[in-house]
């Protein structure tokens, strides 16, 4: 049984090398040219200032940050962009004791999404309906 398993792995290694798959599933380092995310150790192959594709950093300190339109493996590889997020916010209590609120919108950094292996711009959430007389859905600022 051990010989059969060993033979299978030897066949797999020989087949992989002869098919040139070591280039597809390579261990290219940061700065090396690439044609696919899977060629890079960091799984991040992106365009550079010269217009070619090179392996780029991607770790807990520095995200790959691919712009919309580039290929991706998952959301974490896509660039964060500012989108407008609006919320109904509590502002205090009126003279009659009723709660007061207002609609506040602010730019918020949101990670792009990886859809069908392509980075997409993040979508701004819908603006909530706002009635200054109804603060039941208001959140703290």
Write out pLDDT tens, residues 19-32. Answer: 444 455 668 999 99
Are 69 and 129 members of one domain? yes
Are 54 and 96 members of one domain? no
Are 107 and 70 members of one domain? yes
Are 49 and 23 members of one domain? yes
Are 79 and 124 members of one domain? yes
Q: How many domains does the structure of the chain reveal?
A: 2
Query: Which pLDDT score is estimated for 21?
Result: 44
* pLDDT tens track for 37-52: 999 999 999 887 777 8
Q: For strand 99-111 and strand 113-115, is the pairing parallel, antiparallel, or unpaired?
A: unpaired
Q: How far is CA 66 from CA 17, 31, 39, 63, 128, in A?
A: 30, 15, 16, 9, 30
Are 23 and 74 members of one domain? no
Are 18 and 78 members of one domain? no
Using the 3D structure, point to which of 43, 62, 81 is the last residue of a domain.
62
Range of the domain at 48: 1-62
- E strands in the chain: 45-47, 53-55, 80-93, 99-111, 113-115, 118-120
Is 0.85 topped by the overall pTM?
no
């Amino acid at each position: 049984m051990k010989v059969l398993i060993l033979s299978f792995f030897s066949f797999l290694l020989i087949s992989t090398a002869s098919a040139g798959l070591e280039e597809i599933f390579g261990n290219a380092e940061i700065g090396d040219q690439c044609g696919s995310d899977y060629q890079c150790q960091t799984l991040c192959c992106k365009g550079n200032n010269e217009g070619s594709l090179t392996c780029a950093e991607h770790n807990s300190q520095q995200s790959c940050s691919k712009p919309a339109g580039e290929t991706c493996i998952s959301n974490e590889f896509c660039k964060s962009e500012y989108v407008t997020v609006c919320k109904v916010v509590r502002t205090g209590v009126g003279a009659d004791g009723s709660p007061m609120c207002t609609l506040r919108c602010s730019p918020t950094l949101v990670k792009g999404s990886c859809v069908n292996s392509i980075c997409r711009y993040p979508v701004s959430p819908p603006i909530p309906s706002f009635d200054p007389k109804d603060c039941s859905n208001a959140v703290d600022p």
